[in-house]
Amino acid sequence: MAVETHGTGTLPQIKGVKDVPYEELFVSGHRTCQGCESALVMRHMVKASGPRTIVLGSTGCMYVANTTYYTTPWVVPWMHTQLGASGSAALGTAAGLKVLMRKGKIKDEKINVIAFCGDGGGADMGLGAISATLTHKDYNCLVLLYDNESYANTDIQLSSQTPYGAVTTFSPSGTKKRLMHTRWKKNVPGMLAAGHPESRYIAAGCAAYAVDLMNKIRKALELGGPTFVHTLDPCPKGWDYHPQYSQELGHLAVETGIWPLYEVMDGVCNLTGPTRQIAEGRKKRKPVYEYLKRQGRFAHFLDEDVEHFQAQVDKMWTEWLIPGVIPFTIAAKDQTILKIDKKALHEQKTA
Amino acid sequence: MAVQVKEREHQDVETEQLMSGCEAIAEAIRLADVDVMAAYPIRPYDGVMQAAAKLIANGKMDVEYIVADGEHSQFEIVKHACAVGARVFVGSSGVGWFYAFEAIAVTAGLRLPVVAICGNRALDDPGAFGTEHNDSLAVRDLGWLLPWAETAQEAMDLALMAWRVGEDKRVSLPVAIGLDGAFLTHSQAIVKIPTQAAVDKFLPKFDLGDRLLHPDNPITIAPQVDQDWLMEIRMQNDQAMRKAHDVISEAHADFKKLFGRGGDSPFLDEYMTDDAEVVVFGQGTLALPMKVAIRRLRKEGHKVGLVRLKWFRPFPTQEIVKSLSRFKAVGVIDRDYSFGSPYYGGVLYNEVRSALYSLDKRPTIVGFIAGLGGREIEQAMATDIFEKTKAAADNIKSGDMCHWIGVRS
């Protein structure tokens, strides 16, 4: 028996800035830093989802700095969840609503369920639970990972999303070791898209491209089932730059090709925004140095570090199967994978 | 919230069935119309999840049955389902229980009436499947109600009590029922299964009221309170735990009226204590070998008895004081350990001694650690426990020690 999956079905795509809803569901009361892009993601997220939404927030900046007793910024119902529990919170809430509606214990209606987590909560501790949730296709819920590339709430410690070489309080640049952190950033949305073929929507966005981000959130909620959106959020405190440049850094992350914008919808990958323009050759990728030099966390970089960073990003664009999404390369001598006759395989199976 | 019914009116339509403790709990899940449950395998608690899965697969009940990716997720899933108004069930054992510990702690902090079983199991390492109570007892300070069952029947009855008491607005706390691994989780006995109509009379619908997380009630749950408010909130939990005592008594009285079971006291089960001079005190299935020993020793003329604790949290201090002050000596048997504790005793030993401290006339209280890792409490060990307790009767200070029973030298 097919499992019934229904999205909210009431969230049309936003056609431009003038089409963005006026209604604010994330308002004053939060205590995030000036220039906090993650707070902006929260605002866009609930603007896109509308008032019939339940938000679950895992521990991190968007809990501790964001949701203080008596001064909650949340107009929609909101509940804290544990650092590694965003996936489980989304699942439990969606399952609870579903069964209560089926049994007639609450009114049967469309309620959006969104659980958010930071990069620490989502890409490190909570990755397993998010992965599990993305396989439960009969529950409608969105997990949003706001990625400011460090444990920014606990004093800027490195996470698996901290870029190569960046200074954090766990990776200071010292006299003996210039680079304490030499791991490359984990490819979370690509990994989740590749590993969860039944999730109908997985996307990478950025608040600097607000309409694109809101539309991604709407698509995720509208398609239904368990979905995932990952945003890259410039963080003045963690990245060490003046708060007025947050949007600019978001643009640069995308324009340098470091943070590709894309969506994987029902198994089909679309590059979006400037990422698409770069891929189509309509826009030139900016050198990563343009992005790195604007941030204090890379101030200790020597030319060789910048070159390594650039080479890794170049590789992502020139060698990956899908730039920024699927990191496999195919050996030049062996193109068997590309030559597979899918039609013949299908006929063979049905014969 | 007293239930107005004629005494034992449903007795005639009850059914009886041979079932294990786990299967009895699964029947309680069906009767309680649970909405969401989350499973993850670990022995021995998972017998209940297997039994429940069969009931669902055969159309006997309608529950969202989620197989989680670990115990932490398991407990988080039901916690969040509970917050939107679902009646929930979950459980674990031993180290699995500990893997969920963070979620277990916050569930009590959130005052969400999750009902769980802890199929008591030794904590690895080294590996052991058998009963030890340290898994359940680890949460004793956090605000979970902790009943312990002796039989499969009591397991089912306590589960029905658990939703009733935990979901009561005066309490609103999670409940973890202790089931001794193997001895109770997997041993079968005849269980009386009540009718749905009777259970519906006993167990009201779950209603979170103004704490429900829903777009029609857009509250913010568990914001950052820090030192400004945490102490007031902790004190509310304390008050809820205090109120739980009377709510349990009330539920027990109603349960007895409806189903005709449950014993005289909701908190203590006394066996041959009327004229007893020396008793043993403990919880769970160790009551069975001790009862056998008591019958044997009584034939030899010894005035011995048993007091079994049914609810460890809330600790029924007054009931224990009233009961145990009647005896010359009490041997407290712990199926747990608390390394480095006062007199190197078990958890129960020190709790009982603390409860009796201010009495003018106190019995001697001797500590015993027995049956760890699921080791059988044999008759020779039971005799040893009674002899040591009796020998300590005349000197209160001789209770300032704890004996390990049945240990190879």
Give the number of other CB atoms < 10 A from CB of residue B242: 12
CB–CB contact A88 B77 (8 Å): yes
Contacting A residues, span 219-248, partner chain B, CB-CB under 8 Å: none
State ipTM. 0.94
Asked if A95 is an interface residue toward chain B (Cβ–Cβ < 8 A), one would say yes
Asked if A267 is an interface residue toward chain B (Cβ–Cβ < 8 A), one would say no
Q: What chain A residue is nearest to B82 in terms of C-alpha separation?
A: A96
A134 vs A26: CA distance, rounded Å: 26
Q: How far is CA A163 from the centre of its chain?
A: 15
At residue A12, what are phi and psi to the nearest 5 degrees? -70, 155
Distance from CA of B80 to the nearest CA of A (A): 5
Q: Would you report the helix, strand and coil content of chain B in percent, each value rounded to 5?
A: 45, 20, 40
Q: What is the pLDDT of residue A6?
A: 45
Q: How far is CA B176 from the centre of its chain?
A: 6
Pairing of strands A268-271, A141-147: unpaired
DSSP 8-class letter at A63: H
Residue A7: pLDDT above 80? no
CB–CB contact A69 B229 (8 Å): yes
A320 vs A327: CA distance, rounded Å: 5
Contacting A residues, span 30-59, partner chain B, CB-CB under 8 Å: 51-54, 56
DSSP 8-class letter at A240: T
Q: Would you report the helix, strand and coil content of chain A in percent, each value rounded to 5?
A: 40, 15, 45
Instruction: Tell which residue, A185, A186, A203, has the closest CA to residue A127.
Output: A186
The pLDDT-based confidence of A9 (bands split at 50, 70, 90) is low
Give the number of other CB atoms < 10 A from CB of residue A9: 11
The alpha-carbon radius of gyration of chain A (Å, integer) is 21
Q: Are A123 and A145 in contact (CB under 8 A)?
A: yes
Per-residue pLDDT averaged across A108-119, rounded? 97
Distance from CA of A158 to the nearest CA of B (A): 23
Is residue A235 helix, strand or coil? coil
Percent of chain A having pLDDT more than 90?
85
- Angle at Cα A283 formed by Cα A278 and Cα A284, nearest 5°? 85
What sign does the CA torsion over A322, A326, A331, A337 have? negative
**Element holding B364 (H helix, E strand):** strand B364-369
CB–CB contact A100 B35 (8 Å): yes
- Determine the residue among A8, A75, A79, A111 to mutate to test chain B binding: the one whose Cβ has the most chain B Cβ atoms within 10 Å: A79
The alpha-carbon radius of gyration of chain B (Å, integer) is 21
Q: What is the pLDDT of residue A4?
A: 43
Percent of chain A having pLDDT more than 70?
96
Q: Which residues contact A35 (CB under 8 A, 6 or more apart)?
A: A234, A236, A242, A243, A244, A245, A246
Contacting A residues, span 121-140, partner chain B, CB-CB under 8 Å: 128-129, 131-132, 136
Distance from CA of A164 to the nearest CA of B (A): 30
Q: Which residues contact B247 (CB under 8 A, 6 or more apart)?
A: B165, B168, B170, B171
Tokens of B323: 């009961």
Tokens of A166: 């960046």
Asked if B211 is an interface residue toward chain A (Cβ–Cβ < 8 A), one would say no
Q: Which residues of B touch A80 (CB under 8 A)?
A: 221-223
Q: What chain A residue is nearest to B221 in terms of C-alpha separation?
A: A79
Render each residue's pLDDT in chain B as its tens digit; 409 residues. 445 544 444 445 789 999 999 999 999 999 999 999 999 999 999 999 999 999 999 999 999 999 999 999 999 999 999 999 999 999 999 999 999 999 999 999 999 999 999 999 999 999 999 999 999 999 999 999 999 999 999 999 999 999 999 999 999 999 999 999 999 999 999 999 999 999 999 999 999 999 999 999 999 999 999 999 999 999 999 999 999 999 999 999 999 999 999 999 999 999 999 999 999 999 999 999 999 999 999 999 999 999 999 999 999 999 999 999 999 999 999 999 999 999 999 999 999 999 999 999 999 999 999 999 999 999 999 999 999 999 999 888 888 899 999 999 8
A117 vs A42: CA distance, rounded Å: 11
Which residue in B68, B80, B229 is closest to A96 by CB distance? Answer: B80
In angstroms, what CA-CA distances link B23 with A267, B155, B179? 42, 10, 12
Q: What is the pLDDT of residue A351?
A: 64
Segment A166-188, tens digit of pLDDT:
999 999 999 999 999 999 999 99
Q: Are B280 and B389 in contact (CB under 8 A)?
A: yes
CB–CB contact B85 A105 (8 Å): yes
Asked if A68 is an interface residue toward chain B (Cβ–Cβ < 8 A), one would say yes
B53 vs B47: CA distance, rounded Å: 10
Termini Cα distance of chain B = 55
Asked if B81 is an interface residue toward chain A (Cβ–Cβ < 8 A), one would say yes
Tokens of A243: 């708060």
Segment A80-108, tens digit of pLDDT:
999 999 999 999 999 999 999 999 999 99
Asked if A146 is an interface residue toward chain B (Cβ–Cβ < 8 A), one would say no
The per-residue pLDDT of chain A, averaged, comes to 94
Q: Which residues contact B123 (CB under 8 A, 6 or more apart)?
A: B94, B95, B98, B132, B134, B135
Q: Which residues of A touch B88 (CB under 8 A)?
A: 96
The pLDDT-based confidence of A61 (bands split at 50, 70, 90) is very high
